[in-house]
Amino acid sequence: MSWLERMRSRPAADPESPKPDASGSAPVERASPGLSALFDRLKDDGRHSMLDLGVASNRHLKLFGRYARQIRFAGLVPWPPRGEALTKALETLPPNTEQPYDVVLAWDIFDRLEPDERSALVGRLAELTAPGARMYAVVDSSGAATTRPLELIAADVDRISQRAIGPSEPARPQLLPAHVERLLAPFEVVHAYSLRIGLREYVAQKEAPRGR
């Protein structure tokens, strides 16, 4: 039985995400040109293998189910593990040996990791994915001194529901486009969109092996 089938066989209660705390904001739905670009190149024949770095979500299972035969939820966002906890989480994230992942949803995890942790995450994703795999990622582009973690949920293949969660915290140095291009290697940025709400969306594709 596939991961997707096992998830569908669970009770109907929706484990959308951890319960919001009192400091969580109201969700806002917006257009997502990045998601649209990602799914525009995917076939809705249920053959893809998808790795979602967020928590398990019935909404995502229903929405992405027509594209993916298997969906794995890593549970790294909206609150990513840090330091040794991240290292252990990446080590225990199993590969999909039957069909390596060809779609990765990274959401806004890179903004909340240190540089070495970002590189470790990308390195592990490179090990788990197939040649030509595509990744969607969101980074902060506001330049603000403080930030709040985001909870991002796909409302459709071209729209996202977004809300800030938890208390404000000092922002890490901004990830500029050139930084993201270097960070994501061996994934190559093929689409980038700057949004007026202070976010930047990226779609990157893993390089295929060079010919012998």
Q: Is the pLDDT of residue 7 over 60?
A: no
Domain boundaries of the chain, sorted by first residue: 32-206
Q: Tens digits of per-residue pLDDT, 64-96? A: 999 999 999 999 998 899 999 999 999 988 888
pLDDT tens digits, one per residue of 32-53:
999 999 999 998 888 999 999 9
pLDDT digits 0-9 by tens, 161-205: 999 988 888 988 899 999 999 999 999 999 999 998 889 999 999
**Residue 23: pLDDT band by 50, 70, 90 thresholds?**
low
DSSP letter string over 39-105?
A: HHTS-SSS-EEEEEEE---HHHHHHHTTTEEEEEEEEEESS---THHHHHHHHHS---SSS-EEEEE
Considering the segment(s) 32-206 as one domain, its CATH architecture is 3-Layer(aba) Sandwich (3.40)
pTM, full prediction = 0.85
pLDDT at 211 over 60: no
pLDDT tens readout for residues 107-157:
999 998 999 999 999 999 999 999 999 999 999 999 999 988 889 999 999
Residue 15: the pLDDT is: 39
